[in-house]
């Protein structure tokens, strides 16, 4: 039996740990051949693949990124893309695919399953916004990186008596902002799930300055001011219809400086949240996901995604996993407000 594996969408700490688990269990337990498709869905569309053996995954557990490469290729936006995938899989003797990715990658996996191609999904996103799983791997690492950055920025903010706005990733969900903000002791946390009042932010900032402390504001890239709109880095859309966000932190820092007369700076963490070695938690979770994905393939249980429920790894339908994004419940956000200001 030959099994294909691919990583799609944004890169994420822990991807290589999944690949390693799939290869080791697939070969050592089931005697399969493992084929790695390069650059997400571009691989099976264009036939970009290579065999992966035990030696290829020996030292990749701690490596960030993905040894297979990634892309935001959408085969359903390519004329004849799905038929080409069928041809490539047949020509290379690949019996099933394990697709590691977020909402877009697994959305394609769901449609391919509906079209008769056997796919098992593994949830990956630093945003932790994929439905039907409590956590996705990569999230813990991103929060750790953002929290460390907040800790470092606090000392320079206090030294210069300035407000610092830290922009983190989070297009539609504020999980990274909320968790890193709470862990880093931020004075203001702004998430996409709730429009924010600039006046209220300024009030919190001034209150902090009155206490002779420097304010730290954490804002998700998709956060929106009341009556405003998302701040776009670029209006260009990718193959899944997403525009590139970024810059709300800079905009907010300028507003704070203008309204308070206090010095204010913005720091955009950007892709530093995706890079580097995964935390121990993400390595373990990614490994468990990979092992259970192999079990699903061995049982011929396609059209499913492995998911974390409590401490257990279970299987859920890809249709359930991709039905809607998992956003921060507003009641949880409200509970955290006691720490603001």
How confident is the model over 227-262, as pLDDT tens digits? 766 565 545 544 544 455 668 899 999 999 999 888
3-class state of residue 144 by DSSP? helix
Q: Are 3 and 32 in contact (CB under 8 A)?
A: yes
Which residues are marked as active site? 127
Evaluate whether 178 touches 189 at the Cβ level (below 8 Å): yes
Query: Mean pLDDT over residues 70-94, rounded?
Result: 93
Residues 18-32: pLDDT tens digits?
A: 999 999 999 999 999
Provide the pLDDT confidence category of residue 267 given band limits of 50, 70 and 90.
Answer: very high
- Mean pLDDT over 214-234 rounds to 78
Within 8 A by CB and 6+ apart from 169, the residues are 126, 127, 142, 176, 220, 221, 269, 270, 273, 274
Helix 280-298 × helix 15-28 angle, to 10°: 40
Is the sign of the CA dihedral 9, 11, 17, 19 positive or negative? Answer: positive
Task: Extract the annotated binding site for diphosphate.
Answer: 10
pLDDT in tens, 99-134: 999 888 999 999 999 999 999 999 999 999 998 999
Q: What is the mean pLDDT of residues 138-153?
A: 95
**Cα–Cα–Cα angle for 12, 300, 84, nearest 5°?**
65
* Among the listed residues 74, 105, 36, the one whose alpha carbon sits nearest the alpha carbon of residue 322: 105
Beta bridge partners of 99: 6, 121
Q: In this predicted model, what pLDDT tens digit does every residue of 164-182 receive, in sequence order?
A: 999 999 988 999 999 999 9
Residue 114: its pLDDT value, please?
94
Binding residue ranges: 10, 103, 125-127, 162, 169-171, 221, 265, 271-274
pTM: 0.90
pLDDT recorded at residue 274: 85
**pLDDT in the model for residue 339:** 47
Binding residues for Mg(2+): 103
Among 74-83, 134-143, 236-245, 276-285, which is the least confidently predicted range?
Answer: 236-245
């Amino acid at each position: 039996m030959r099994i294909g594996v691919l990583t799609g969408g944004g890169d994420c700490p822990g991807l290589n740990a999944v690949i390693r688990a799939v290869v080791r269990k697939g070969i050592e337990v089931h005697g399969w051949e493992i084929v790695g498709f390069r650059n997400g869905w571009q691989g099976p569309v264009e036939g970009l693949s290579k065999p992966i053996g035990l030696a290829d995954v020996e030292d990749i557990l701690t490596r960030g990124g993905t040894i297979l490469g990634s892309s935001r290729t959408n085969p359903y936006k390519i004329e004849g893309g799905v038929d080409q995938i069928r041809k490539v899989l047949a020509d290379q003797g690949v019996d099933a695919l394990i697709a590691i990715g977020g909402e877009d990658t697994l959305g394609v996996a769901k449609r391919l399953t509906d079209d008769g191609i056997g796919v098992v999904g593994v949830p990956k996103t630093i945003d932790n916004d994929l439905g039907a799983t409590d956590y996705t791997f990569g999230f813990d690492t991103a929060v750790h990186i953002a929290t460390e950055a907040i800790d470092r920025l606090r000392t320079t903010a206090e030294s210069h008596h300035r407000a610092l706005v830290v922009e983190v990733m989070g297009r539609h969900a504020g999980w990274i902002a909320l968790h890193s903000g709470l862990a880093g002791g931020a004075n203001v946390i702004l998430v996409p799930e709730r429009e924010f009042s600039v006046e209220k932010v300024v009030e919190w900032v001034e209150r902090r300055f009155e206490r002779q402390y420097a304010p730290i504001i954490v804002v998700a890239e998709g956060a929106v001011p009341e009556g405003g709109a998302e701040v776009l880095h670029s209006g260009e859309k990718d193959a899944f219809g997403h525009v590139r966000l970024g810059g709300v932190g800079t905009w907010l820092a300028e507003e704070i400086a203008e309204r308070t007369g206090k010095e204010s700076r913005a720091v955009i963490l950007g892709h530093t949240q995706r890079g580097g070695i995964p935390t121990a938690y993400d390595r373990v979770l990614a490994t468990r996901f990979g092992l259970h994905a192999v079990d699903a393939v061995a049982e011929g249980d396609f059209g499913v995604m492995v998911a974390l429920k409590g401490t257990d790894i279970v299987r859920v339908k890809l249709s359930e996993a991709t039905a809607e994004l998992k956003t921060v419940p507003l009641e949880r956000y409200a509970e955290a407000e006691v720490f603001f200001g």
